[in-house]
Amino acid sequence: ARSEGPITIADYRRSARRALPAMVWAYVDGGAETGLTMADNCAAFDRWTLRSRVLTGNSGTKLDTTVAGTALSLPVFLSPTGMTGLAHWQGERAAARAAEAAGTRAVISTASSYTVEEVAEATADDHFFQLYPWTSRTTGEPLSGKFIDRARTAGYTALFVTVDVPTAGNRIGERKHGMGIPPTLTPGRALSAAVRPRWAYGFLRHQRISARMLVDERGTKAAVASARTQQNLLRPDLVWDDFGRIRDLWPGPVYIKGILDAEDACRAVDLGADGVLVSNHGGRQLDGAPAALDALPAVVDRVGSRVPVFLDGGVRRGTDVVKALALGATAVGIGRPYVYGLAARGQAGVEHVLEIFRQEIVRTLTLMGVDDVADLNRSHVQRAAARPV
Ligand code: FNR
């Protein structure tokens, strides 16, 4: 059969799988432990149905929303992904450029393959910065202040503080495939890269693999020569006061990423968070955590009248975006979907992924008889009847 090229995010997932060595695929697509939470993130959307009204004359013309004072023409932004240069050597630079071409923004990870300065230089608009509250392995000093200063100077407008990584999640697939810095190579693993010359060429020529902020912190590429580097920087001892301190270091809007509990959401807002990103890290941390969508309504009920609430995890279709917005999210983040696009086709792939979302959202709203994403509310969704398995 003649191939029509990717039409859905699921198509991009298949293309990315073909494009990437098994080890990198395990990193991008894997979840923690059994993958229960990762799978449930997607399945949770299927547990809701959409209400449609006919003959309204509405056709989904308004998709804009505001995140961190920035007007987005699409209620979908790029959630932070570390070491994005593993998927494609242009990494976060290509992803951020694609985001702005689509009228949205990227959140650039502390663990990104390009530094905040390099991404800023490659883009026209200001993006958002994601902070891991890490501590230096050499001096024991918190690195947050240093990272924050750099992101501010480089023009980033909002800070997302990720709080769901007190320790690394147990990613079985990554461990089985020897994923680490440096990777544990076997003949089979090397072959899996060698049979993908396009990937291998970009990777070897540009070597954009590492968490660049860390490289620079220790002044040398050798800084990332240990598979344990990142683990050694993680802080299981952080408490709410630490979040408050970080909040006070940033002059602009601060969002807390990795919240699943309404009580935690409330605490963060009391400490000055300007919004909450409901997330279980794409099911890469605590396996057994609830699906992000299932955690959303209680958080919205608790803090939604005070601050915007965002969601990421399992968003793969326009209908998913509409369901999350109907349940109270102001905008949603995508992680793997844009990394699939990047792996398959670089910047053009990410642009197409965002275009697929745009078209799917417009079509969904038109079929529902809704004109503006801002009009979506809980009356537009209903629990699906239990289905036989
Ligand atoms: C992530 N995520 C993540 N989050 C974060 O705050 N900092 C990071 O460096 C990373 N790194 C990262 C790498 C990869 C390969 C993935 C897939 C994810 C989590 C990410 O921001 C987001 O929460 C999830 O990806 C959302 O789930 P979906 O869209 O991938 O299902």
- pLDDT computed for residue 142 by the predictor: 81
pLDDT surpasses 60 at 217: no
pLDDT surpasses 90 at 310: yes
Confidence label for 206 from pLDDT (cuts 50, 70 and 90)? confident
Q: 3-state SS string over 238-302?
A: CCHHHHHHHHHHCCCCEEEEEECCHHHHHHHHHCCCCEEEECCHHHCCCCCCCCHHHHHHHHHHH
- pLDDT computed for residue 210 by the predictor: 66
Pick 185 or 343 by higher pLDDT: 343
**Atom in ligand 1 nearest the alpha carbon of residue 281:** 23
Low-confidence winner among 203-207, 219-223, 280-284, 353-357 (lowest mean pLDDT)? 219-223
Residue of 27, 112, 229, 284 to test ligand 1 pocket, by largest number of atoms within 8 Å of CB: 284
Confidence label for 139 from pLDDT (cuts 50, 70 and 90)? confident
Over range 301-327, report the average pLDDT.
Answer: 98
- DSSP string covering 101-128, please? HTT--BEEPTT-SS-HHHHHHH-SS--E
SS3 content of the chain, % helix, strand, coil (to 5): 45, 15, 40
Over range 226-233, report the average pLDDT.
Answer: 59
pLDDT surpasses 50 at 168: yes
Mean pLDDT of the chain: 92
Q: Hey, whose CA ends up nearest to atom 1 of ligand 1?
A: 81
Strand partners, 256: 161, 276
**Atom in ligand 1 nearest the alpha carbon of residue 279:** 23
Q: CB of 144 closer than 6 A to ligand 1?
A: no
Q: Hey, whose CA ends up nearest to atom 11 of ligand 1?
A: 81
Exposed, middle or buried: residue 285 (CB in 10 Å: 0-12, 13-18, 19+)?
Answer: buried
pLDDT surpasses 60 at 218: no
CA of 28 to the centre of ligand 1 (A): 9
Q: CB of 111 closer than 6 A to ligand 1?
A: yes
Pick 185 or 47 by higher pLDDT: 47
pLDDT surpasses 80 at 228: no
Low-confidence winner among 24-38, 202-216, 240-254, 306-320 (lowest mean pLDDT)? 202-216
pLDDT surpasses 60 at 227: no
Confidence label for 21 from pLDDT (cuts 50, 70 and 90)? very high
Q: CB of 281 closer than 6 A to ligand 1?
A: yes
The radius of gyration computed from the CA coordinates of the chain, to the nearest angstrom, equals 20
Confidence label for 388 from pLDDT (cuts 50, 70 and 90)? low
Confidence label for 204 from pLDDT (cuts 50, 70 and 90)? confident
For the question of whether the overall pTM of this predicted structure is more than 0.90, the answer is yes
pLDDT surpasses 70 at 337: yes
Residue of 13, 77, 79 to test ligand 1 pocket, by largest number of atoms within 8 Å of CB: 79
- pLDDT computed for residue 2 by the predictor: 58
CA of 366 to the centre of ligand 1 (A): 31
| Structure confidence by residue, pLDDT tens digits, 77-127 | 999 999 999 999 999 999 999 999 999 999 999 999 999 999 999 999 999
Residue of 81, 163, 315 to test ligand 1 pocket, by largest number of atoms within 8 Å of CB: 81
8-state DSSP, 205? H
- pLDDT computed for residue 235 by the predictor: 84
Q: Hey, whose CA ends up nearest to atom 19 of ligand 1?
A: 281
Tell me phi and psi for residue 118, to 5 degrees.
Answer: -65, -40
pLDDT surpasses 50 at 223: no
Pick 204 or 279 by higher pLDDT: 279
pLDDT surpasses 60 at 258: yes
Over range 242-256, report the average pLDDT.
Answer: 96
- pLDDT computed for residue 214 by the predictor: 65
